[in-house]
Amino acid sequence: MAGTMRKRGKNSYFLEYMCDGERYSQTVKASSPSDARTKLALFIAEVEKGQYKNNNGITFTDLAQMFLDKHAKNNLSDTTIINYKYQLNKHILPNIGHYKINRLKRLHIQDLANKECDEYNLASKTIKNDIKLISAILEKGIEWDLLQINVAHKVTIPNNKNKPKKEQNIYNNNEIKLFFQALDKTEDPFKTMTYVSFYTGARRGEVLALRWKDIDFEKNIIHIEQNKVRTVNGTIIKETKNKRSREFLAPKKLMEKLKNFYANQDPNELLFNFHPSTYSRQWAKFIKENNLKYITLHNLRHTNGSILASKGIDVATIAKRLGHRPETALVYYIHPVSEEDKHASQELDNLL
């Protein structure tokens, strides 16, 4: 059959052509019928030369996999890719993955957003992140000439009023004492590794990326310069989350524990040779076996900051110790150690 075209809207035409028993179609923008006929001729030529990829059979799952393979793999961090795969497999693909991309409608995306709120009881922020990911995938489909419009645009994010605001889960003073009592009965390297997490407030990956040369036993200073993160195939050592190093005075109790743990290792050797997920699993096992209130390793970091805040340490000093991004782009170093940082270290020492 000869190619056909029909107007679908202002400056929009639907093109169709049969070749070797297969139907090919495409929606194009054209300023006039004459312009549309020219694009129809080009469309037919591409089909007959085998240069046009018929997207009629491409599902959203197919496009999502193309997004991961052709874009994310070379442009995004492994951590981001892992998170994207989790998002896709959790709710997105089970609900809209089967739709052909040329049949996917904005209403389908809106139904997913509403379902995540009403049935899955997800927070509005989580729903927004899922819709943003869908939109990013569809945008790549447009760039690759597989789609004409992004149907994830203008989707309303429902406000889940039934989702209680997540409160910060941390240990109080009594719970910290129980935590210390249980931790003292455990074995190394988990014991010392967990003490480092508590007393420094460092992120999980920052603790696991510490080298012995990062520990200054003479001045009682710890340097945080790198981060150990999960990858698709294992782990890598990279820069800290905010791409800046920091250093601070460590509590004397922590430095004593590190000295006891130290056995003249190579300065470049890591203190703890653990996979991030392994550390988290051991932490969960430790909590369960000792009947402690469950908090995550990240909550242990929040506990550190909350203790310092409750002791009257100023917010700027706490942020500097924990490596939060400051308002300015300056890198904070302690040369010499400030009086406020000495105070912060002393308050942590006074816990026992």
Confidence of residue 334 (pLDDT cuts 50, 70, 90): very low
pTM above 0.95, yes or no: no
Same domain, yes or no: 123 and 66: yes
For residue 123, the domain's CATH number is 1.10.150
Same domain, yes or no: 288 and 221: yes
According to the model, what pLDDT value does residue 10 have? 84
Provide mean pLDDT across the span 65-77. Answer: 92
Q: Give a yes or no: residue 36 inside a domain.
A: yes
Same domain, yes or no: 180 and 76: no
Query: Domain tally for the chain?
Result: 3
Same domain, yes or no: 108 and 249: no
Percent of the chain with pLDDT over 70: 88
- Spatial CB neighbours of 235, under 8 Å, sequence gap ≥ 6: 228, 229, 275, 276
- Spatial CB neighbours of 223, under 8 Å, sequence gap ≥ 6: 214, 215, 216, 245, 246, 247
Same domain, yes or no: 220 and 280: yes
Confidence of residue 344 (pLDDT cuts 50, 70, 90): low
First-residue to last-residue Cα distance in the chain: 86
Q: Which of 214-223, 280-289, 297-306 has the lowest mean pLDDT?
A: 297-306
Print the domain residue range for 132: 60-143
